[in-house]
Structure 1
Amino acid sequence: MRDTPKGGAGSAGAASSDGKPVSIGTVLTQLREEFPEVTISKIRFLEAEGLVEPKRTPSGYRKFTQADVERLAAVLRMQRDHYLPLKVIREHLDALERGEQVPLPAPATPSRDLVEGVRDPGAERPTAARIGRAELLAATDVDEAALADWESYGLIVPHADGGYDIEAVTVAKLVADLGRFGLEPRHLRAVKAAAEREAGLVEQVVAPLRRHRNPQTRAHAEATARELATLSVRLHAALVQSALRVRL
């Protein structure tokens, strides 16, 4: 079990009054004093990424020490306050455990949509990048009939003003590429439905963060959404490859 750097969890640091390791549910309760958005899934994810290594009982249950809870709090704090990726956080904590005097890495520069979360409540929300119909047709090199067909199946969705999100260009190019293999828009409805379900799962996780009163927590929601989306895409790709391997 690795040691945890000092100055960790604050009130969440005491695993139990008698110092005995506690369950993941108890850890969740303690961490939520400072991090109301944390979930058991998040704790398990951090464990899978090597950020914490709880002991296991003979029956397989996780048991967390005070050092584990402090380390988890330190990880969550660096994510929330400094927007640091997990790899950088892990390297920083590991260096501290080796006794190295290393400064905290400089905060990552939030992207434009991340900065939105810390704007003044009365400030005007920036408009996401949009393109017009003619621009979309030119960027994807398709004709009007093809675009109308994709829209009829919900693969490309215009806004009320007739504009499109910039992601529509990527979607259109991929739909066109798949079409060269004989896959028509009607075949891709299942892919669209799966994407919407995955987006719904991400929204379930980040919705409490977006409603939080702390602007930094709301900003962290966007970073969390992107991280979850990336993991979801990687899982989807792995599952498709695994399914193909079984059938071929």
Structure 2
Amino acid sequence: MLRTPSGGAGSGAAAADSGPMSIGTVLNVLREEFPEVTISKIRFLESEGLIEPERSPSGYRKFSAGDVERLAQVLRMQRDHYLPLRVIREHLDAVERGEAAPLPALSRQRSGEPVPELSEERTAARIGRAELLAAAEIGEQDLQEWESYGLLAPLEDGLYDAEAVTVASLVAQLGRFGIEPRHLRVMKAAADREAGLVEQVVAPLKRHRNPQTRILAETRSRELAGLTVKLHAALVQTALGVRLP
């Protein structure tokens, strides 16, 4: 079972009894507790040495239940204690060695550790077409159809934002209920409008000469994106008269 650093039970416990998981499956497990986590975030944490998932013969990541639990611990310590990744890594490594390692009382604002440039995470946020197909467990024909409706699109370099796996997985799940890609164009249009609103708010920060201010713009974008997602979900639930579990 996933547990917090203090020993409390966390979400996603079902992952503990599963076999090797794809990065898309890991994302779905973690989002029960961390709705704003993305595949790019998972890949970035791997690049920083926080996890070391196994690789299949074809090179795809295979996450164990232990990897998912460690990811959850990292995300909690970032969220609840504002610890830098270096401190989190050292703490978890010490715990795994069986050493007495109390959780450091350190905040990001006081740590003195430089904030990583945005490009570090974005570099790890690109996946190829074959990796997208494998992670989302879809076929080439499905992807072509979804692209024709604008639900997915490659970037200028031909790669995809890693969040495309989430989109593809959700489109596939909705399809099992008879909701076709053409029905989802209204959702895509609404998402584009919401993104435009967020961009208007953070645009002055993005244009600032100070690199720290530009990093703040990215943080603010994520915060606003999380709020808009929650609001959208609440509005849909209200309209349908249901409550999600």
After TM superposition, the score normalised by the length of structure 1 is 0.50
Tell me if 1:197 matches 2:197: no
Question: 1:218 corresponds to which residue?
Answer: 214
The alignment status of 1:129 with 2:125, answered yes or no, reads yes
Superposition pairs of residues 171-186 of structure 1, within 5 angstroms: 171-186=167-182
- Of 109, 112, 136, the residue aligned with 1:140 is 136
Q: CA deviation at 1:109?
A: 9.8
Whether the aligned pair in 2 keeps the contact of 1:128 and 1:165 (CA below 8 Å) is no
Percent identical: 65
Distance 1:108 1:193, change over 3 A: farther
Contact kept in structure 2, 1:212 and 1:218, CA below 8 Å: yes
Amino acid at match of 2:183: H
Q: Show CA shifts across 1:131-163 (max 9, x none).
A: 111111111121111110000001111123321
- Return the offset for 1:105: 5.8
Name the CA distance, whole Å, in 2 between partners of 1:197 and 1:109.
37
- Kept in 1: contact 2:81–2:107 (CA 8 A): no
Unaligned runs of 5+ in 1: 1-83, 90-103
Mark the structure with the bigger radius of gyration.
Answer: 1
Cα shift at 1:126:
6.0
**1:209 alignment partner in structure 2:** 205
Query: Alpha-carbon deviation of 1:127?
Result: 2.9
Tell me, yes or no, if structure 1 residue 115 matches structure 2 residue 116: yes
SS in 1 for 2:108: coil
**Contact 2:205 2:217 (C-alpha < 8 Å) held by counterparts:** yes
Q: Residue 93 of structure 1 corresponds to which residue in structure 2?
A: none
One-letter amino acid matched to 2:203: A
User: Structure 2 CA distance, aligned partners of 1:179 and 1:160?
Assistant: 28
Q: CA deviation at 1:115?
A: 2.3
Structure 2 unmatched ranges of 5 or more: 1-77, 83-104
Aligned ranges 1:84-103 → 2 under 5 Å: none
Q: In the aligned structure 1, how far is the partner of 2:230 from the partner of 2:110?
A: 25
Residues 1-248 of structure 1 mapped to structure 2, 5 A cutoff: 106-107=107-108, 115-116=116-117, 127-245=123-241
Q: Where in structure 1 do 4 or more consecutive aligned residues deviate above 3 Å?
A: none
Alpha-carbon distance in 2 for matches of 1:242, 1:233: 14
* AA in 2 matched with 1:223: T
Give the equivalent residue in structure 1 for 2:18: none
Cα pair 1:130 1:165 within 8 Å, conserved: yes
Give 1:213 deviation, angstroms: 2.3
TM-score, normalised relative to structure 2: 0.51
CA distance in 2, matches of 1:132, 1:158: 9
Paired letter, 1:226:
R
SS in 2 for 1:115: coil
